[in-house]
Structure 1
Amino acid sequence: MLSEASASQRTRLCRTRMHFDLTDEQKQFEDAVERLLTDKLSGNILTRDEAVPGLAAAMDEALKSLAVPAILVPEAESGLGMGLLTLAVAGEALGRHAAPTSAIRSAVGAWAIASYGDSTLKARWLEPLLAGDAKVGFAFSETSDHWNPDEWRASLRDSRANKRCIEGAADADLFIVGVEEGLCLVARDAAELHASEYPPLDTSRPHAGAMLEMADAKPLGGRAAAWRLYDALMILAAIDAAGAGRAALDMSVEYAKTRVQFGRPIGSFQAIKHALANMAVDIEPVRFFCWYAAHAWDVSAPEAPWSAALAKAHATDVAVKTARAAVEAHGGIGYTWEYPLHLLLKRAMHDRMVLSSPTQLRARAASLPRPLT
């Protein structure tokens, strides 16, 4: 039986969880990011591949004005110290707009160097990353289904390491590389890029492989650092997918209100109503799961790795399911290149494929500590 004090503590904990929400400051930041993206994208989602590089550069500059690259770094290291939850707010908005940018990667890379780098690495890289003037690529994957730190086989003892599927590799100034020992940093001039065998599914996030000279690698952190970085990236992929899925639902609702068949909006038909309701029930709770995972990471809760793995698995699965249902709800126009819905589906599918599959992540979660119930 619980003591009176233990019961009281448990009640307070439950109440805290029941009322968990963004702070007023985070909500204001969310509004600012949304306004910026809406303004820069003119309310439309990119539909043409050739426009991606120019739009990515414009988005990077715009997000610098909101200091997005500095969000995660502690104030003691000249950052904003606002935590992963605040960065996730920006990530969700980027997913909603399918916006190409390196700002999120810069923010996480700056945090990794501020947290685990020595004075030399900080002096060389921290300031340009915080200012958004340097870009980072995360070199983790070595085969199609091996992403997490337990699967890294490259080593600091090797002369070279071959990594694949590095998002933003072509523009990266430095690479944070996953090795058996943990993490290391390799500068761009010690990397030889090679084009991916396949074009990217999500053209807003092009990728390439790289052959990295390990003789020039600088140790950055051990296994614990590697997993903490990996968990942060999984949470950001999850919230990005959640944003894309929610945008797909919103587009479907608007389309159902305006598309007329047999003399009335298709949203009045029971089949469409049920489809939209099912999509809403699936996707709406996902952002809160991602928020909790980000909060758990921020406070280094024991269940943080469990939450990160399940958030990535669940959010990306649901986002892909919702986006596919949205394409069906749109009928023929949903399958056309000119209509932007396909970008949201590809965004969610990309998030699902990278950083381990949902099946692998659920297997990992099964072996990790779970939150109190």
Structure 2
Amino acid sequence: MEFGLSEDQVMLQETIRRFVADEASLDTIRAIADQESGAQNVLDEKIAALGLDGLLVPEPEGGSGLGVLDAILVQECFGYGLVPSRFLANTVAAYAFGASGSELAGNIASGAAKFGLVLNDVVSRRDSSGIQVSGTSVTGKSLMAINVRDATHLLFYSDDAIHCGAPDETSVVKTIDRTREFFEVAVAGADPDAKTADVEQVFAVASVLIASDTLGAAQAMLDKAVVYASEREQFGRVIGSFQAVKHLCAEMAAKLEPCRALLWHAAHAIDENDDEAITMAYLAKAHMSDVATFIARTSTEVHGGMGFTDLVGLHYWFKRIGVNRQLFGTPMVLRERAARQQGLVA
């Protein structure tokens, strides 16, 4: 049996890849990181025109009716270009409510509903953090929420369930990744009709999407290392001709390529409701984080001193990988959750 992408999936990824190359240059990402007025809004409008938010929304609800495998192909392209997009949050929300018949799914596809994602409490919560729900009343706050600015809804975790609510007070949380905004948020109230107990399933989708974002960032760092090694001269020859540099680039490629198949399999397992889908998603995210951390470090080493300069901008990808590693669970946390799924840990 040969497992690969369909022609439509290849075309989808090529389309998004071209969009990222044309519309999300390093100068654009640098402007967003520097919070230049309007840079993010312009990019958001162009992304919205692609109609990607309804990717997982069923066709009767106005969406494309595609699967998680299609979604991670898009997110990989966004990760490659460091594109800060609401696609991840809207896609997770569409998955959470798409099969329930909720009108939220159709609103996501039409652009009327814009979601922020508040799911880090599933795996990591400080003593001062946490959201509690009682009926429609919500108290408490949560950290490391993403896509909150201009959001109409929040997808958040509380009491072993995924809820939907309206955003209330927000404050920016600074991280090393300046290409995205993170927030501490409070929720104004919960919608009792928009609730799902499939926490692990929804969280698995969020995990595999973040992992695909990391895959894109790691691929970008590898590509940049190879290009730099083929152009940079030292001692009268390009550094890529030195065996040590060849080995560094080859080791990065050898570690990264299997990750792509691992993520495809995890997403496909979710789409097919495979019994091991959740376990595969957690292990895929954990392994991708470790591999990407190695690539981030090694790519920087190949660049030498230039790897630390803003001129090259390699640090933007380095920091994206670092924050993604922590977001929605570190490798250690996710491997423990995977072991629990398999009954290996009580």
Name the residue aligned to 2:313.
340
Which of the pair is proportionally richer in strand? 2
- Between the aligned partners of 2:202 and 2:36, the Cα distance in structure 1 is 27
Name the aligned partner's letter for residue 296 of structure 2.
A
Query: Scaled by the length of structure 2, what TM-score is found?
Result: 0.90
Q: Give the alignment's Cα RMSD to 1 decimal.
A: 2.4
Q: Deviations over 1:15-47 (max 9, x none)?
A: 2xxx11111100001111011111113476723
- Between the aligned partners of 2:44 and 2:138, the Cα distance in structure 1 is 34
- Between the aligned partners of 2:264 and 2:138, the Cα distance in structure 1 is 41
The 1:77/1:277 distance shift into structure 2, 3 A limit, reads same
After the TM superposition, which residues 1-373 of structure 1 pair with which residues of structure 2 at under 5 Å, given as runs?
15=1, 19-42=2-25, 46-48=29-31, 49-51=33-35, 54-116=38-100, 118=102, 122=103, 125-142=104-121, 145-146=124-125, 154-156=132-134, 159-188=138-167, 191-196=168-173, 199-214=174-189, 216-224=190-198, 226-369=199-342
For residue 64 of structure 1, report the CA deviation from its aligned partner: 2.7
Bigger shift: 66-75 or 42-51? 42-51
Q: Deviations over 1:117-173 (max 9, x none)?
A: 64xxx1xx44442133542112223499339xxx97633366513111111222211
Task: Judge conservation of contact 2:292–2:321 (CA < 8 Å) in 1.
Answer: yes
Which of the pair is proportionally richer in helix? 1
How many pairs does the alignment contain?
339
- Between the aligned partners of 2:112 and 2:62, the Cα distance in structure 1 is 15
Bigger shift: 35-44 or 63-72? 35-44
- Between the aligned partners of 1:321 and 1:297, the Cα distance in structure 2 is 27
Name the residue aligned to 1:10.
none
- Between the aligned partners of 2:74 and 2:226, the Cα distance in structure 1 is 24
Query: Scaled by the length of structure 1, what TM-score is found?
Result: 0.84
Aligned identity (percent) is 30
The 1:288/1:152 distance shift into structure 2, 3 A limit, reads farther
- Between the aligned partners of 1:168 and 1:353, the Cα distance in structure 2 is 17
Task: Judge conservation of contact 2:131–2:141 (CA < 8 Å) in 1.
Answer: no
The 1:133/1:40 distance shift into structure 2, 3 A limit, reads farther
Q: Could you list the runs of 4 or more consecutive aligned residues of structure 1 that deviate by over 4 angstroms after TM superposition?
A: 42-45
The 1:129/1:195 distance shift into structure 2, 3 A limit, reads same
Name the residue aligned to 1:3.
none
Task: Judge conservation of contact 2:279–2:338 (CA < 8 Å) in 1.
Answer: yes
Task: Judge conservation of contact 2:286–2:330 (CA < 8 Å) in 1.
Answer: yes
For residue 233 of structure 1, report the CA deviation from its aligned partner: 0.4
Is the radius of gyration larger for structure 1 or structure 2?
1
Q: Deviations over 1:339-365 (max 9, x none)?
A: 221111111111111101110111111
Structure 2 gap segments, 5+ residues each: none
Name the aligned partner's letter for residue 3 of structure 2.
F
Q: Deviations over 1:45-99 (max 9, x none)?
A: 7234225663433333233333210111111322111101001110000111111
Structure 1 gap segments, 5+ residues each: 1-14
Task: Judge conservation of contact 2:61–2:106 (CA < 8 Å) in 1.
Answer: no
The 1:348/1:285 distance shift into structure 2, 3 A limit, reads same
- Between the aligned partners of 1:66 and 1:93, the Cα distance in structure 2 is 14
Bigger shift: 288-297 or 50-59? 50-59
- Between the aligned partners of 2:200 and 2:98, the Cα distance in structure 1 is 16
Task: Judge conservation of contact 1:140–1:164 (CA < 8 Å) in 2.
Answer: no
- Between the aligned partners of 1:140 and 1:104, the Cα distance in structure 2 is 12
Task: Judge conservation of contact 1:201–1:350 (CA < 8 Å) in 2.
Answer: yes
